[in-house]
């Protein structure tokens, strides 16, 4: 494509080093879509006849059909998806194909293709986030009344409804969906028409192209348009947070499936066994998700590191943007789908959960609240309950096994009704502040999410 300036061919070694067709081939659909819109602008400017435009569109669609069917041969010596398509188009239709690149550079062409690709992926990932939210909500509703210990520092803290715990992840994923929607708005701007750096003396109707490609805005600075990858970095940052949330969910699932917890059982379809130990059932889907989060973080760091020292405008370093972007998108798409499938077949071991929440230590804070309602300042109530816990520890007994006399020896504020505090169902019903896990609150939240998710 530049042989007019050069007298010797590019070294084979450099071709192998610099080609990107092995990974940017996936942009073919977006490259063709952008080229069809571009040739409409060329026709409007009088640079193509209607017959030439029709030949180009027909040729591009034919190439697209061949690629989709697996009949197209990508050529490494043509470097990238843009030249592979353009060269084949010219071979098929002749000189009309050679006119397609008028007033266009690969710099603004790839910027367009990447935006089109990521715009479509934002929509796909948003749908998969919704699918995972639905799976979490269905599992929560199936076990709506189950109470499990909540944990801080991985130590038993207070009782919570299992559904409330799952709905926490639904909330996280909703924030993720919002961030991806925000990123989509900022990437949904047309860069085509910016040329290599300074536009072109051949002026095309960029608003026409924007309309054809459904872009609500066009870029306003040609140098920024071809060098900008903020939109990709922003989306990777949003995906990195998705990965964080999936990894945290995975850790909970892994713990719950362990013999030590025993709260959850996954289906055989989403677990694996051991090549040595016949008794094993491993939560590999969750473990892989936890591990793959690092790949998404690495993709973000890789892109930021590539961009941080680049002068304006385009530099070949920017070819390194695509592999981390593609990998992060693929990883998150698959992880969301796998986790939705894994949770769809999960079931709660209600007996194990009930045994765990029978531990009266989970209601130690409720006991302090009991003293507060008797007029004891909270700090003193906290200390008094702590003394009761210490007494249990020394005796090897439970809070419910201390006598009223034992409690009143600590503070006379305790009365015979203190033992009512250890009724877990009453304790859960009392947690009725906004956002707290009372059964009534959780039911309302489940209904809210079911309505929202069923609406699309």
Which 3 state secondary structure label does DSSP give 391? helix
Query: What is the chain's mean pLDDT, rounded?
Result: 96
Q: Residues 257-277: pLDDT tens digits? A: 999 999 999 999 999 999 999
Torsional class of 154: left (φ above 0), alpha (ψ -120 to 50), beta (otherwise): left
Handedness of CA 388, 392, 393, 395 (dihedral sign): positive
Residue 301 has pLDDT above 70, yes or no: yes
Residues 15-37 as b/e (b if ≥16 CB within 10 A, e otherwise) read eeeebbbebbbebbbbbbbbbbb
CA 48 – CA 222 distance, rounded (Å): 24
Active site residues: 153, 274
For the chain, which domains are there? Answer: 12-102 (1.10.275.10), 108-196+221-355 (1.20.200.10), 358-454 (1.10.40.30)
- Global pTM reads 0.95
The 3 state secondary structure assigned to 62-89 is HHHHHHHCCCCCCCHHHCCHHHHHHHHH
Q: Taking residues 302-308, what's their average pLDDT?
A: 97
CA 146 – CA 164 distance, rounded (Å): 10
Confidence band for 1, pLDDT divided at 50, 70 and 90: low
Q: Taking residues 381-409, what's their average pLDDT?
A: 97
How far CA 135 is from CA of 22, 189, 203, 424, 428, in Å, comes to 36, 34, 51, 27, 24
User: Looking at 11-25, 120-134, 439-453, which range is the least confident one?
Assistant: 11-25
Which phi and psi (to 5°) does residue 159 adopt? -75, 145
């Amino acid at each position: 494509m530049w042989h007019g300036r050069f007298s010797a061919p590019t070294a084979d070694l450099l071709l192998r080093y610099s080609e990107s067709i092995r990974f940017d081939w996936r942009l073919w659909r977006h490259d063709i879509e952008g080229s069809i819109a571009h040739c409409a602008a060329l026709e409007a400017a009088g640079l193509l006849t209607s017959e030439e435009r029709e030949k180009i569109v027909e040729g591009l669609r034919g190439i697209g059909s061949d690629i989709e069917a697996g009949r197209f041969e990508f050529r490494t010596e043509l470097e990238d998806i843009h030249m592979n398509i353009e060269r084949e188009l010219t071979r098929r239709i002749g000189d009309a194909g050679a006119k397609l690149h008028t007033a266009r550079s690969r710099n603004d062409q790839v910027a367009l293709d990447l935006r089109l690709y990521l715009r479509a992926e934002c929509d796909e990932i948003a749908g998969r986030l919704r699918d995972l939210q639905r799976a979490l909500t269905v599992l929560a509703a199936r076990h709506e009344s189950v109470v499990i210990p909540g944990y801080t520092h991985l130590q038993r803290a207070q009782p919570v409804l299992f559904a409330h715990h799952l709905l926490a992840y639904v909330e996280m994923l909703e924030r993720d969906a919002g961030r991806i929607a925000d990123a989509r708005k900022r990437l949904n701007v047309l860069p085509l028409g910016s040329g290599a750096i300074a536009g072109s003396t051949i002026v095309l109707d960029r608003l026409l192209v924007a309309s054809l490609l459904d872009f609500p805005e066009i870029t306003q600075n040609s140098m920024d348009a071809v060098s900008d990858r903020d939109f990709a970095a922003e989306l990777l940052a949003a995906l990195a947070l998705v990965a964080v949330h999936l990894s945290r969910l995975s850790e909970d699932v892994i713990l719950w499936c362990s013999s030590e917890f025993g709260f959850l059982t996954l289906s055989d379809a989403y677990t694996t066994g051991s090549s040595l130990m016949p008794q094993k059932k491993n939560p590999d889907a969750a473990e892989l998700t936890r591990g793959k989060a690092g790949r998404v973080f690495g993709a973000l760091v890789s892109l930021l590191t590539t961009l941080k020292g680049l002068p304006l405008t385009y530099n070949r370093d920017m070819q390194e943007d695509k592999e981390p972007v593609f990998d992060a998108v693929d990883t998150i798409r698959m992880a969301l789908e796998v986790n939705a499938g894994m949770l769809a077949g999960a079931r709660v071991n209600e007996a194990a959960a009930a045994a765990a929440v029978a531990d009266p230590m989970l209601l130690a804070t409720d006991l302090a609240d009991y003293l507060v309602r008797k007029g004891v300042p909270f700090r003193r109530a906290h200390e008094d309950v702590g003394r009761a816990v210490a007494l249990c520890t020394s005796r090897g007994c439970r809070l419910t096994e201390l006598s009223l006399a034992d409690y009143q020896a600590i503070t006379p504020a305790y009365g015979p009704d203190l033992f009512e505090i250890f009724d877990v169902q009453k304790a859960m019903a009392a947690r009725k502040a906004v956002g707290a896990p009372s059964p009534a609150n959780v039911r309302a939240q489940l209904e809210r999410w079911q309505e929202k998710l069923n609406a699309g």
